[in-house]
Chains A and B, each alone.
Chain A
Amino acid sequence: MQGKTNHKLLEQLIPRLLKPRAGESRPPVIWLGTNTCAGDMLSLLNSLDPGYRSLLTDLIDFRYNYLLGTAEGDMATGILDETMAELPGEYILVVEGTIPTRSNGLYCVIGRRNGEPLTALQAVRELGASARYVVAAGTCAAFGGPYAAAPNPSDSKSVQAVLERRVINVPGCPVLPDWLMGTLAHLIRYGEPELDDLNRPKLFYGETIHNLCQRRHYFDNSIFAKKPGDPWCMYKIGCKGPVTFADCPYRQWNSEHLSWPVKANTPCIGCVSPEFPDGDMPFFEHLPDVKLPGIRTTADRIGTITGVITALGISGHMIGSIVTNRLPHTLKKGFSGNGMLQKLLKKLR
């Protein structure tokens, strides 16, 4: 698929260019950056095989990329309209970032159309409607992530929340390059991968970190790290591995399988989970904060307070029962209610 170009000159100037091989069709991909830190695209650049170069030449036709595309301004926005008009039902839409919905999405504008701001919300809805697949890259796009954390100042939502159709969620903060490459490759070669309840490919998110962890035997034997940097199980300093679905321990990071947070002696913070970060903070505590109206406290404290109240209540009642002579009376009455116990005790003596 040769891109439409206004660079006739360029072709003459640079003969040895990366041309797509003849007869091969690479699906067009639009990569939209909405409310994001750009970490997912930067992470994709870390992919080893295929690397960015062969991604461009062999796997996909990267029509629009907010971070690395050459076009800027209206020229860039024009590509979106062009693709929607020319290739409906063919392109894959990848969205990176949350979609702010407050004020009709004006909190994230990705360009201009006819001099008017084009909001991320509008772009995702339009592009999503006629895309072949919609992929949410990273936790923000998949579930909301850090920018949608309380008090969620921009009313940010996940891509799925603003689209009627199915969105394939490939979460991670950032997404591990293999997860995204693998999902794209699966979509291109074999169609939609098998998804779990949250529309994540089971291929990558089918098992908990905890069940794959190298330090699992430390966990089972209760050998725990007391602080970050200790080489044991991170459970007691808040490891979210038991409640996080991802294959980090096997796959490890950045294509070369070098390390992952637990191997770096720090707790997993559950960055692929739908509740990240609100529902699993504090990162270094076992249980997330408990939020009641106007109150925010730790789960631990709730446990302690309940325990103390219970203990006080029981001991208070017990003191009352002794002072009012109720308890001695009960004991005197014994198991049959007629002082049988005492008689028995007397007899035995």
Chain B
Amino acid sequence: MKKIIVGPLTRANNSSSVEVTVEDKRVVDARCSGIFFRGFELILRGRDPRDASYLTERICGICSAAHGTAASFALEDAAGVRPPRNGNLLRNLILGADFLQSHIRHFYLYSLLDYVRGPNQRPFIPGYTKGYRLHGKVNEAMVEHYFQAVEISRLTHKLLTLLGGKAPHNHGLLAGGSTVSPAADILMDFGSKLRKIIDFIKNIMVPDTLTLAEAYPDYYEIGCRAPNLLEFGLFPRSEDDNERSFPGGVIIDGHPQKLDSSAIREHLKYSWFTGNSEPRHPSRGRTEPDREKEGAYSWAKAPRYGGKPMEGGPLARLWIRGDYRKGISTMDRIVARAMEAEMIGKSMEGWVEELQPGAPVFNAFNVPREAEGAGLTGAMRGPLGHWLRIEKGRIAHYEIITPTTWNFSPRDDTGQLGPVEEALIGTPIEDENEPVEIGRVVRAFDVCSSCSVHLIVPGTPVKETIIVP
């Protein structure tokens, strides 16, 4: 038996750490213990509800548009306002562009170096020496694509800039709609940049994932877990939000079910929180951090849907929509991500066509004095929820459950492992000194530990802290 701690787990959106126990060259236990106490919820209290979309974007640099979108949905829900038609399309385009950015950067800049040797140059060295299976020209081409991906991902951020003023942390996502009136010149610029990105995804990124899949076929057997999948629904098809392009839904043990967000509970047994004696819905949760709590090992609460640990992300989304149901493994996650990028790119082209120059983009509204709202959306890494309560015109309660909280949750009250923990069990470790396999399994989930902003309430003694998964 040997314990391995990978910390910092670099090349994730912000470094993180995972602890596994290895026996006979296989992972037998895994713990993703993290500082998932997102003090952001505390920081938001007392602020103007309209500020939430800009401020929560700052939770995460790579998925900021998803937080902006969820915050906008939540306030729209509370204020009872809908965006105009253009507003909805523009917001979809902004979020879509950030999806492309995140998926491309995740695959090439974060994930790829687990499978491909980088150039002999810093910061690609030092690195692990074993376990790479691509050679010669193939490896070289991948490195070339790495740098192409840097260029292309810059274009994705330019799409955001065109419609949102800047990127990351764009200004175009607001309750009530968006802000840049679509004009022919902007749409031309947008469309032609989008074309280049789509070409790259279609002709390079998707084939590259298949090259990896061919060289590492065993990863269809590694990182597997039961098909318990969750998605809140991505991209409202119309301003009324009756239907989403990627529908929300649930798969429990392989069986599709209708999404019922009231089935969400947060478990605290293994988390450094006291408060709820039994699991509660996030909008009702009242928790206080307690770092001394016996048996707990994570700052992450353990959200469960109908009592099950749920995985979110491109694979879950495509599975629920019925576009990809091959398997649930590390390689499936990677392939699904690239496929999803291609689909989103295509949808975006359609939305650009639908935009009507000159039509309104923003509906003004008054912030209610007292109201509640929920903003649920798909994000790059899975389901994202913002729950908001307004009192006296200001934020009284704000709760965020990020995709990474689902994926990286610790054990729940009944002792069930979180999804990444589940996936890690059984992973073969060739060389305990170079556990490249751990990173492969974890990164396929697209870790986004920035979404857990390392914040802890004052007055709570903290003896030691493990780095965020």
Are A and B in direct contact (Cβ within 8 Å)?
yes
The answer to whether the Cβ of B61 comes within 8 Å of any Cβ in the partner chain is yes
The answer to whether the Cβ of A36 comes within 8 Å of any Cβ in the partner chain is yes
Among A61, A107, A174, A281, point to the contact of B462 (Cβ < 8 A): A107
Interface set, chain B 1-20, CB cutoff 8 A to A: 5-11, 13-15, 17
The answer to whether the Cβ of B123 comes within 8 Å of any Cβ in the partner chain is yes
Interface set, chain B 130-152, CB cutoff 8 A to A: 135-136, 139-140, 143, 147, 150-151
CA distance A139 to B229 in the complex (A): 37
**Proximity bits, A26-54, B CB within 8 Å = 1, else 0:** 00000001011111111101111001110
Q: Is the CB of A258 within 8 A of B162?
A: yes
Given contacts A20-B121, A151-B458, A153-B457, contact A37 B64 (CB under 8 A): yes
- Distance of B181 from chain A, by nearest CB (Å): 7
Is the interface on chain A under 10, 10 to 19, 20 to 34, or 35 or more residues? 35 or more
Among B47, B163, B462, point to the contact of A282 (Cβ < 8 A): B47
The answer to whether the Cβ of A193 comes within 8 Å of any Cβ in the partner chain is no
Q: Is the CB of B154 within 8 A of A17?
A: no
- Distance of B394 from chain A, by nearest CB (Å): 8
Among A3, A111, A174, A255, point to the contact of B168 (Cβ < 8 A): A174
Q: Is the CB of A255 within 8 A of B5?
A: no
**Proximity bits, B95-125, A CB within 8 Å = 1, else 0:** 0000000000100010001000111111111
**Proximity bits, A85-129, B CB within 8 Å = 1, else 0:** 000000000000000101100111111100001000000000000
Q: Is the CB of A281 within 8 A of B48?
A: yes
Among B6, B13, B62, B154, point to the contact of A254 (Cβ < 8 A): B154
Q: Tally A-B pairs: CB < 8 A.
A: 321
B461: chain A residues at CB < 8 Å are 103
Q: Is the CB of A100 within 8 A of B122?
A: no
Nearest residue (CB) in B for A146 is B58
Q: Is the CB of B465 within 8 A of A106?
A: yes
The answer to whether the Cβ of B161 comes within 8 Å of any Cβ in the partner chain is yes
Q: Is the CB of B121 within 8 A of A17?
A: yes
Given contacts A17-B119, A261-B166, contact A228 B465 (CB under 8 A): no
Given contacts A3-B122, A254-B154, contact A73 B455 (CB under 8 A): no
B453: chain A residues at CB < 8 Å are 35, 37, 147
**Proximity bits, B1-41, A CB within 8 Å = 1, else 0:** 00001111111011101000000000000000001000110
The answer to whether the Cβ of A77 comes within 8 Å of any Cβ in the partner chain is yes
The answer to whether the Cβ of A143 comes within 8 Å of any Cβ in the partner chain is no
Q: Is the CB of A254 within 8 A of B64?
A: no
CA distance A10 to B463 in the complex (A): 42
Among A7, A14, A77, point to the contact of B139 (Cβ < 8 A): A14
Given contacts A5-B125, A228-B174, A258-B161, contact A68 B11 (CB under 8 A): yes
Majority secondary structure of chain B interface residues (helix, strand, loop or mixed): loop
Q: Is the CB of B13 within 8 A of A10?
A: no
Please tell me which stretch of A205-213, A263-271, A340-348 contacts chain B, meaning at least 4 of its Cβ atoms lie within 8 angstroms of it.
A263-271
The answer to whether the Cβ of A218 comes within 8 Å of any Cβ in the partner chain is no
Q: Is the CB of B121 within 8 A of A19?
A: yes
Q: Which of B122, B154, B439, B462 has its CB near the most chain A CB atoms (within 10 A)?
A: B122
Among A75, A110, A261, point to the contact of B15 (Cβ < 8 A): A110
CA distance A332 to B203 in the complex (A): 96
The answer to whether the Cβ of B344 comes within 8 Å of any Cβ in the partner chain is no
List the 9 shortest-distance A-B pairs measured between CB atoms, nearest first.
A39-B61, A264-B165, A70-B127, A229-B362, A282-B48, A153-B39, A266-B171, A69-B123, A261-B165
Residues of A participating in the B interface, judged by any CB pair closer than 8 Å: 3-7, 9-11, 13-14, 16-20, 33, 35-43, 45-48, 51-53, 56-57, 61-73, 75-77, 79, 100, 102-103, 106-112, 117, 145-147, 149-155, 173-174, 226-229, 231, 253-256, 258-266, 269, 271, 277, 281-285, 296
Give 6 A-B pairs besides A117-B466, A266-B171 with Cβ atoms closer than 8 angstroms: A13-B117, A36-B450, A110-B467, A146-B43, A173-B58, A264-B170
Interchain residue pairs with CB less than 8 A apart (22): A7-B129, A14-B120, A36-B14, A37-B14, A37-B58, A37-B453, A38-B61, A39-B61, A56-B123, A70-B113, A72-B439, A77-B8, A107-B35, A111-B467, A150-B43, A173-B58, A229-B177, A229-B179, A266-B174, A266-B179, A277-B55, A283-B50
